Amino acid sequence: MLSEIEQRIKAKIEAVGTPLKDWDIAINYGIKTGFNDAFIIDGAKRAELLNEDPKSAEVIRPILRGRDIKRYGYDFADLWLINIHNGIKEKGIRPIIISDYPAIKRHLDKFWPELEKRLDKGLTPYNLRNCAYIEDFNRQKIVWGNLNLSASYAIAEEGLFVNAPCPMIVPASKYLLAILNSEVADYYIRKLGVTRNGGYFEYKPMFIEQLPVPLIAAPLQQGILDQAERLIEKVGKGESVKQEQQLLNEMIFQLYSLTPEEIEFIEQSQHSQIQ
């Protein structure tokens, strides 16, 4: 049962926002390999494969894990996905044929027993499982770790994959990124599930898609977008963004027409989650 102030906050958020499930976006999980030890390699192995057969570069893509993703940025760990995808029949995209990439085949053959018995496989044990949205990895996307202490969303560039169970949103929007990383959104989303011991929360798509967000149009929304762009730039330079994040939070509190009392309640609630 929600308290009176919780009911007021919930009503205000839902009054001005449109649930993300009703936006023209797609929310999906990252790529599933069924056996990461074979399909996710480090930079040294990538260099080795490219030295053996330069054509291997055609199907090796950079990939992020949940632990690599931070709020407004990420730390690339020099990990790479061997993207032997299964194609998309409906779009005329053919499956990757492993014999076209002999160096990669020799690498994967070392893991044949595991590849053969895994459930997440495609046309052959070398192929990844069907992924209808495989092309979305070639677009900008909002990504986040599935399990986190607090909101930690970032934008991943075109061609950068993310490993399941990390989810992603396509197309990316810096305005939406700012909202998701705000205290208001995190407060609302965490009310939809159960927080684990230590303050950890599972940020599943089924929760994220319920978040009501005002469509970008008014000057305040544009101000949030502009501030988010400045913040992302500073994160990329490794600079402190504490002041910028606070300003964004204040703007988003205003976007949802929250009172000082309601803001204080949200801030205290968020702080207590990770104690």
Q: What is the pLDDT of residues 60-69, one digit of tens each?
A: 999 999 999 9
pLDDT at 275: 53
Q: What is the pLDDT of residues 124-159, one digit of tens each?
A: 999 999 999 999 999 999 999 999 999 999 999 999
Mean pLDDT of 206-213: 97
Q: Are residues 45 and 3 located together in one domain of the fold?
A: no
* C-alpha dihedral (106, 107, 113, 119), degrees to nearest 10: -120
Q: Are residues 246 and 151 located together in one domain of the fold?
A: no
Q: Are residues 21 and 31 located together in one domain of the fold?
A: no
Taking the model in full, what pTM does it have?
Answer: 0.93
Sequence-separated (6 or more) residues with CB below 8 Å from residue 223: 251
95 with 85: CB under 8 angstroms?
A: yes
Of 132, 147, 170, which closes a domain?
170
pLDDT at 218: 66
Q: Are residues 88 and 195 located together in one domain of the fold?
A: no
Supply the DSSP symbol for 97: P
Q: Are residues 50 and 161 located together in one domain of the fold?
A: yes
How many of the other CB atoms lie within 10 Å of CB of 111? Answer: 16
- Whether residue 165 is preceded by a cis peptide bond, meaning omega within 30 degrees of 0, is yes
Q: Which domain holds residue 150?
A: 26-170
How many of the other CB atoms lie within 10 Å of CB of 165? Answer: 16
Q: Are residues 101 and 69 located together in one domain of the fold?
A: yes
pLDDT at 198: 83
163 with 31: CB under 8 angstroms?
A: yes
- How many domains would you assign to the chain? 2
Q: Reply yes or no on whether the pLDDT at 274 is more than 80.
A: no
Q: Reply yes or no on whether the pLDDT at 39 is more than 90.
A: yes
Q: What is the pLDDT of residues 97-117, one digit of tens each?
A: 999 999 999 999 999 999 999
Q: Are residues 63 and 110 located together in one domain of the fold?
A: yes
CA 149/CA 266 separation, integer angstroms: 16
Query: What value does the mean pLDDT of the chain take?
Result: 93
Q: Are residues 98 and 198 located together in one domain of the fold?
A: no
| E strand or H helix that includes residue 186 | helix 183-190
Strands 26-29 and 40-42: what pairing? unpaired
Of 170, 203, 223, which closes a domain?
170
Q: Reply yes or no on whether the pLDDT at 254 is more than 70.
A: yes
Sequence-separated (6 or more) residues with CB below 8 Å from residue 65: 77, 79, 145, 162, 163, 166
Q: Are residues 57 and 98 located together in one domain of the fold?
A: yes
